[in-house]
Homo-oligomer: A and B are copies of this chain.
Amino acid sequence: MTNQLRADGTLRHLLTLESLARTDIERLLDRAQTFVRPLGAKPPVSTALAGITVANLFTEPSTRTRVSFELAAKRLGADVVNLEVQLSSRVKGESMLDTVYTLQSLHVDVMVIRDPEAGVPDLVAANVAPHVSVLSAGEAHVSHPTQGLLDALTVRQHKKRFEKLGIAIVGDIRHSRVARSAYHVFRTLGVPDLRIVAPESLLPAAKEFAGCARHTTLEAGIKDVDVVMMLRIQKERMGQVDLPDADRYFSMYGLTPERLEHARPDAIVMHPQPMNRGIEIASDVADGKQSVIRDQVRNGVAVRMAVLAEVVGSRAVTVEGGR
């Protein structure tokens, strides 16, 4: 695994949250918080990344995440180029590296990489020149580190401290990079009561998610928690062996206002989006007053600005904003 930190302790790459120390994560969250503005306020802008080039290199489509990274980079003054490339599977690793060397030779400074195959961001990070940074924007089922950071920032804004929290992650844990990054960040930040909730067939292997309580019923799984983190269920998996169809899934695991009463009265509800309303979450909950889903999106761009600013190593990011 490529070292994500520079000798001076600052972040060079962001591939996973697994190996980051609590102080690293807190520093990034603190910096991200400086980029947060209320809805309707002007977003912060700066020229900290003027002359820097950021490339979004996506081999699977993800409009929302791409736009979030694109705006984060542009608001810091960077040049941004978007590439959606199809790589033939037989020579995928080679093609990816040749594309990366090309970008590097074009003086791209930061590569934001999303790929459905495990190992690709790390492969790239292991091969780029010393001045280039690699940010994972989603790696197979393995990792989605900026999502983990934005989830942590959202929880911190609403709950202040992590030391006494109960957090339940609900849904397709087994296939979810969002769940894995959430697990890593919340463990590192000291959340004592972390639970995963799913039908048996969507729970992860026994050795994963160590220290988490496992639940197969939603009511017990979210009982008295402070945070309910819903995951997107892939509709393609619905109705397969061991998995109920959409209606039945909703009747068992869909988060409704009634079910949400099992959590603490001040519990917040999160979802990484896109949502399947009426399957994993009822619209009344998604749009209800306990939902912080839109805060997550707003925090996403702030987190990405913080990460970009740190990996580029611009010490003094001046920020304007507020209207």
Binding site for B on A (CB under 8 A): 37, 39-43, 45, 51, 53, 55, 63-64, 67-68, 70-71, 74-75, 79, 81, 83-85, 91, 94-95, 98-99, 101-107, 129-131, 273-277, 283, 294-295, 297-298, 300-301, 320-321
Contact = CB atoms under 8 A, between A and B. Distances in A.
Given A42-B51, A91-B277, A101 B70 contact: no
Ranked nearest first, the 5 interchain pairs of A and B with the lowest CB-CB distance are: A105-B297, A43-B107, A40-B131, A105-B298, A105-B294
Contacts of A105: 39, 294-295, 297-298
A105 B68 CA distance: 10
Contacts of A41: 107
24 contacts: A37-B107, A39-B107, A39-B131, A55-B67, A64-B99, A64-B102, A67-B103, A68-B106, A70-B81, A71-B81, A71-B107, A75-B79, A91-B277, A94-B283, A95-B274, A98-B274, A98-B275, A102-B273, A105-B294, A105-B298, A106-B298, A106-B301, A107-B298, A107-B301
Contacts of A131: 39-40
Complex copy number for this chain: 3
Nearest to A274: B98
A323 to B, nearest CB: 8
A130 B40 contact: yes
A8 to B, nearest CB: 17
Contact of A106 (B71, B104, B277): B71
Contacts of A68: 106
A277 B41 CA distance: 49
A79 B71 CA distance: 8
